[in-house]
């Protein structure tokens, strides 16, 4: 038994739940995000956010006002105590600043809300970030600020933040990319102003072999989302003919992304060429699509982007927030949901966790063993 363990429950009455419970003495202080207090004085949807090393147990008091209200935590009045604090996450100290800053002014979503969101869905998003170089898009002044990309970890990152050096031909130098493998690093990146997370398609162990292929369906301002849906469904039709499973997610902005698992068996060049074949088949069938990369030359057509399948190219991760009005999230969809009338604005910071708890991780097969590309090509040619 450790120094903190005790045989008796510190709660009266003892909460119902698992029979096998290790009780500890109530001498640690932590942050917990929750939806509301229930009538029987229980927390609804509690999420452990890390230990507080700046608070003593005797400073903690019941918030009777919070127990009487059913407001969402994000709607409660902000507190000066959230402006600057140090929290311990997995034994790592993370400094948080300006948590009351409005990142989404029209929606009342603060920097602290963004940090809380990512911690609440960390177990779902981290498998898609693990061991992948991150191209950090930072919007430290919120979604109406143009923001900037930041790739090099630099000297400012805490010593516990992992990084990985990759030589960049375009910059003619090594870039020390941050690797996000845990909750603490995720919180650190969010505190930098990373509303959106953009991992490579490949991991550091097999840097030239992506885990998946992506078809990025990117509409012009004059395309309808129903046309985006039609394009995604046609990509699925092609992949079905090829005998390959495909998985769709919203971009969180205006488009859809279709992923096909590759299992890190093929090089970026091979995957890009395969994606080119798929994109060409789409363009030949759907007159409102194009492979033209130039914005000036696309016209009013949907860009079927296969060039995302190159080293260093990144898209918003599944479950990533986007710096867009409404707090939209790049969300995986069941193919039955990909139909006329659906909108990326349906999936936001406010309902993603509830959806995950209900449906689970729909994107999990994307990280699976992958397709047999040769067999797929043979079926497409038959």
pLDDT in tens, 279-307: 999 999 999 999 998 888 888 999 999 99
Look at residue 68 in the predicted model and tell me its pLDDT. 40
pLDDT higher than threshold 60 for residue 17:
no
Tell me: the pLDDT tens digits for 268-285? 999 999 999 999 999 999
Continuous segment of H or E residues that includes residue 112: helix 111-120
| Cβ count within 10 A of residue 340 | 10
Token pair of 263 as six digits: 């299992």
- pLDDT for residue 38 is more than 80: no
Looking at residue 350, its pLDDT comes to 97
**CA 63, 67, 72 angle in degrees (round to 5)?**
100
Domains in the chain, ordered, with CATH? Answer: 64-199 (3.90.920.10), 205-381 (3.90.920.10)
Q: Is 195 helix (H, G, I), strand (E, B) or coil?
A: coil
pLDDT at 67 over 80: no
- If one counts every other C-beta atom within 10 angstroms of the C-beta of residue 8, the result is 9
Looking at residue 233, what is its pLDDT? Answer: 98
Query: What pLDDT shows up at residue 65?
Result: 44
- Answer whether 266's CB lies under 8 Å from 371's CB: no
Q: Are 76 and 66 in contact (CB under 8 A)?
A: yes
Stretch 326-332: mean pLDDT, rounded?
98
Q: Is a pLDDT exceeding 60 seen at residue 138?
A: yes
pLDDT, position 169: 83
**Interval 218-249: pLDDT, tens:** 999 999 999 999 999 999 999 999 999 999 99
Cα–chain-centroid distance for residue 165? 23
Rounded CA separation 375/29 (Å): 56
Q: What is the mean pLDDT of residues 134-158?
A: 90
- Percent of the chain whose pLDDT exceeds 90: 71
Count the Cβ atoms, other than its own, within 10 Å of residue 341: 8
- 305 vs 254: CA distance, rounded Å: 14
Widest CA span of the chain, in angstroms? Answer: 73
Is there a contact between 325 and 106 (Cβ–Cβ < 8 Å)?
A: yes
- Asked whether residue 77 carries a pLDDT value surpassing 90, the answer given is no
Distance of alpha carbon 177 from alpha carbon 154, whole angstroms:
9
The predicted model gives 169-190 an average pLDDT of: 93
* Better-scored residue on pLDDT, 141 or 11: 141
Q: How confident is the model at residue 74 (pLDDT cuts 50, 70, 90)?
A: very low
Mean pLDDT within 163-185? 92
- How much is the pLDDT for 205? 97
Written as six digits, the tokens of 46 are: 């509690």
- Residue 99 has what pLDDT? 95
CA angle (104, 325, 233) in 5-degree steps? 145
End-to-end CA distance of the chain: 66
Tally of CB atoms within 10 A around 16: 6
Mean residue pLDDT across the chain: 88
Contact 179, 132 (CB under 8 A): yes
3-state secondary structure at position 255: coil
Q: Residue 26 pLDDT more than 70? A: yes
> Which residue do the tokens 């981290």 mark?
126
Note every long-range contact of 48-54, with CB atoms under 8 Å and residues 24 or more positions apart, other chains counting. Answer: 49/87, 49/89, 49/116, 49/119, 50/87, 50/88, 50/89, 50/90, 50/94, 50/119, 50/183, 50/187, 51/87, 51/88, 51/89, 52/85, 52/87, 52/88, 53/86, 53/87, 53/88, 53/93, 54/85, 54/86
Q: Is the pLDDT of residue 209 over 80?
A: yes
pTM of the model: 0.80
pLDDT tens digits, 193-208? 999 999 999 999 999 9
d(CA 288, CA 282): 10
């Amino acid at each position: 038994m450790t120094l903190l363990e005790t045989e008796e429950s510190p709660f009266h009455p003892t909460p119902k739940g698992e029979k096998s419970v290790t009780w500890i003495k109530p001498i640690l202080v932590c942050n917990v995000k929750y939806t509301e207090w229930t009538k029987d004085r229980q927390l609804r949807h509690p999420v452990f956010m890390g230990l507080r090393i700046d608070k003593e147990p005797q400073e903690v008091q019941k918030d009777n006002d919070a127990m009487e209200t059913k407001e969402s935590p994000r709607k409660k009045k902000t507190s000066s105590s959230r402006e600057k604090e140090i929290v311990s996450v997995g034994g790592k100290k993370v400094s948080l600043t300006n948590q009351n800053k409005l990142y989404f002014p029209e929606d009342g979503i603060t920097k602290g809300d963004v940090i809380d969101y990512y911690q609440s869905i960390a177990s779902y998003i981290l498998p898609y970030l693990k061991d992948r170089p991150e191209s950090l898009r930072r919007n430290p002044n919120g979604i109406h600020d143009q923001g900037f990309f930041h790739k090099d970890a630099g000297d400012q990152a805490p010593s516990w933040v992992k990084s990985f050096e990759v030589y960049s031909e375009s910059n003619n130098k090594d870039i020390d990319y941050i690797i996000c493998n845990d909750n603490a690093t995720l919180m650190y990146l969010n505190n930098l102003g990373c509303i959106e997370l953009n991992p490579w398609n490949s991991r550091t162990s097999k840097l030239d072999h992506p885990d998946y292929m992506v078809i990025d369906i990117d509409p012009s301002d004059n395309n309808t989302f129903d046309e985006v849906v039609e394009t995604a469904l046609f990509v699925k039709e092609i992949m079905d003919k090829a005998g390959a499973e495909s998985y769709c997610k919203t971009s969180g902005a205006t488009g859809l992304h279709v992923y096909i698992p590759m299992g890190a068996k093929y090089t970026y060049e091979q995957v890009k060429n395969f994606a080119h074949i798929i994109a060409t088949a789409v363009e030949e069938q759907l007159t409102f699509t194009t492979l033209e990369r130039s914005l000036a030359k696309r016209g009013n057509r949907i860009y079927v982007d296969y060039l995302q399948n190159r080293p260093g190219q990144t898209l918003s991760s599944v479950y990533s927030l986007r710096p867009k009005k409404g707090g939209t999230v790049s969300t995986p969809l069941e193919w039955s949901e990909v139909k006329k009338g659906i909108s990326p604005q349906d999936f936001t910071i406010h309902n993603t966790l509830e959806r995950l708890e209900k449906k689970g991780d729909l994107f999990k097969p994307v990280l699976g063993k992958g397709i047999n590309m040769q067999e797929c090509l043979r079926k497409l040619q038959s």
